[in-house]
Amino acid sequence: MSGIITSILLVIFVTLAQNSFAADKIRLGYSGLAPATAMLWVTQEGRLFEKNGLAPDVLFLRNNLGQSALIAGEIEMCSYSASLLAPARLQGVDLVMIVSFQQKLNYRLVVRPDIRTVADLKGKVLGVTRYGTVNDSTMRLLLSKLGLNPDKDVTLIQVGDSAPVVATSLIAGKTFDGALLQPPFYNKTVDAGFRVFANMEEMDIPFQQAGLNTTQRYIAKNPDMVRRVVKSIIEGVHLIRTNPTVAKRAISRYMQIKDEKVLEDSYQNLKSTAEIKPYPSAEGFKTILDDFAKKLPAARTANPRDFIDARFIQELDKSGYIDGLYR
């Protein structure tokens, strides 16, 4: 009898031990199919979330659905652009960016070969994915930098839900004259005879593009979960820089890229934009707020730092953990 009791107690102990060390579930969304988002994908591919005691459910939520799901509490974090986060925050939603995925605007305005000057752009039809997306807001920013009024000098039309759809439509000769595309998608249009009219990477505009976002209420209730997610992402950056095989596998899986040259170009783009210490950029948020100030009065007096919560990166940075990964 004592042996049976001992066996039962052992089973109970093992079960309790397993439950106590069970990974914490977390739902992570992403809204873009571009190399910048690959910081999230590579972290997932390398099982770094699991290494830090997390069981992630990584979900693709197209366009603005990710932010809507985040605000509704249906997911805990989501990767998307600061230009989508900013207006929601200005209207009172407690969103903040905790990790930057990309601070460089690497878009190219690709146009028909006969369009060669800014004057040639006037009256033309330009394609964006959907109104209100980062593609739309960045197109408007670029046109303003070129001295054009995006609401009067050109016509912007919605083409599709993603960059591949826009690129394919442009090549197929649909009824628009140009589009704003990132690598590797703009490369296909150039190969098809279109020309790069403007390279935003060369314009060096401070701009906070993609990042991992959450709500302040979630941080307040779950600081350790947030800490472990940020640690995982930082380890993901290290993996990007030290293990191209895993990084390319993640890009290929999520972006459905089979062409080796396109895959290599996408990896190199990711490697060049993934910051070792991925602090969100207050200066990059300021650019976005300055642009929104034309339409949203609250943007004129907003403090860019209110859109950022970098405390978890700061902890890892000050402790020497990040530098230690590269020794």
Section 62-79 average pLDDT: 93
Rg of the chain (C-alpha set): 22
pLDDT above 70 coverage of the chain, percent: 94
Residue carrying structure tokens 């873009």: 32
Section 126-140 average pLDDT: 89
pLDDT above 90 coverage of the chain, percent: 72
CATH numeric code, 108-203 = 3.40.190.10
- What is the tens place of the pLDDT at every residue in 181-226? 988 889 889 999 999 999 998 988 899 989 999 999 999 999 999 9
Banded pLDDT at 162 (limits 50, 70, 90): confident
- The pLDDT of residue 15 is 43
How far is residue 116 from each of residues 28, 52, 127, 166, measured CA to CA in Å?
A: 42, 52, 18, 21
Residue among 63, 212, 33 nearest 136 (CA): 63
- The pLDDT of residue 78 is 97
- The pLDDT of residue 21 is 56
Where is pLDDT greater, at 298 or 2?
A: 298
Stated pTM of the model: 0.84
H helices present in the chain, as ranges: 2-20, 38-45, 48-51, 65-71, 82-90, 118-121, 134-145, 163-171, 185-191, 200-203, 216-221, 223-242, 244-255, 260-273, 282-292, 298-301, 311-318, 321-325
- What is the tens place of the pLDDT at every residue in 287-327? 999 988 988 999 999 999 999 999 999 999 999 999 999 99
Average pLDDT, the chain: 90
- What is the tens place of the pLDDT at every residue in 5-51? 444 444 444 444 444 457 899 999 998 788 778 999 999 999 999 99
**Does the pLDDT at position 245 exceed 50?**
yes
Rounded to 5°, the CA angle 112-113-119 comes to: 80
Domain-wise residue ranges, the chain? 23-103+207-325, 108-203
- The pLDDT of residue 295 is 86
Residue among 77, 78, 97 nearest 86 (CA): 97
CATH numeric code, 23-103+207-325 = 3.40.190.10
Q: Do domains 23-103+207-325 and 108-203 have the same CATH topology?
A: yes
